[in-house]
Amino acid sequence: MAAGFQLGDIHVAVVRKDIKNVHLSVYPPSGAVRIAAPEWMTMDAIRLFAINKLGWIKRQQQKLRGQPRETPREYLERESHYVWGRRYLLRVIEKDTAPRIELKSRRLELQVRPGTDRARRDELLADWYRASVKQALPALLEQWEPRVGVRANRVYIQRMKTKWGSCNPVARNIRINTELAKKPPECLEYIVVHELVHLKHPTHDAKFQALMTMLLPHWRDCRDMLNELPVRSEDWDTGLGSRRGS
């Protein structure tokens, strides 16, 4: 059941879950605040928890609101697009044949049928980014699953508005955002390791952080880089959003 309360001008959404600890998250782009709380925890206790974290909440909101954002994509000639962290200029080729996307030198060639609208061009690029992530994942999973000591049952790649990645520790499934194909390769690696470690440690507790540090000593640098890079111009409800647990 969802509820909530106000802390001055900050609305805190509260979601009850069958969990042991309380988790506080701040989401981009506007810094929306959500607390996932155990079903037994009283609203007064949740409010007190939020008050104690108020300084941290405000710092995260300020950071997220200052995060650079991409300008809306129009998919026009010589528009800038990013592939694995590198900037490419779009070249649009109108041809009455099957759509095709190809990287050539510093150009991203988008071949479409004459009259293809912006929405369809966006869909084609999204599918291509998804395929790029899908191609990169097997090697990363082969490398990191044995090192973490877990195996994901299924890996889904999809366009996600609210997270760079997520996992379901019970079903042992993980989800990866197609947008990571735009970011430097180490960002995808970080998210893969992050979600695999969550299969062992579902929360961002000390055990989670210790294992991340042992496996990927620079993981915080990757996290910070990912959160500082431009995100899509659409409204997100983060990245891995900023999050704290009790």
Range with lowest mean pLDDT among 37-46, 64-73, 138-147, 205-214: 64-73
**Percent of the chain scored above 70 by pLDDT?**
87
Place of tokens 């009790």: 246
All structural domains of the chain? 2-65 (no CATH), 127-229 (3.30.2010.10)
Give pLDDT, residue 239.
Answer: 37
Residue 179: CB atoms within 10 Å: 22
Give pLDDT, residue 242.
Answer: 45
Q: What's the average model confidence in pLDDT over 38-63?
A: 91
Q: What's the pLDDT band for 159 if we cut at 50, 70, 90?
A: confident
Count Cβ atoms within 10 A of the Cβ of residue 104 and give its class: 0-12 exposed, 13-18 middle, 19 or more buried: exposed
Q: What is the dihedral of CA 82, 84, 86, 89, to 10 degrees?
A: -40
Q: Are 111 and 90 in contact (CB under 8 A)?
A: no
DSSP per-residue codes, 98-165: --EEEEETTEEEEEE-TT--HHHHHHHHHHHHHHHHHHHHHHHHHHHHHHHT---SEEEEE--SS-SE
Q: What is the pLDDT of residues 55-108, one digit of tens each?
A: 999 988 887 676 655 667 888 999 999 999 999 999 999 999 999 999 998 999
Q: What's the pLDDT band for 19 if we cut at 50, 70, 90?
A: confident
Q: What's the pLDDT band for 144 if we cut at 50, 70, 90?
A: very high
Q: What's the average model confidence in pLDDT over 129-142?
A: 97
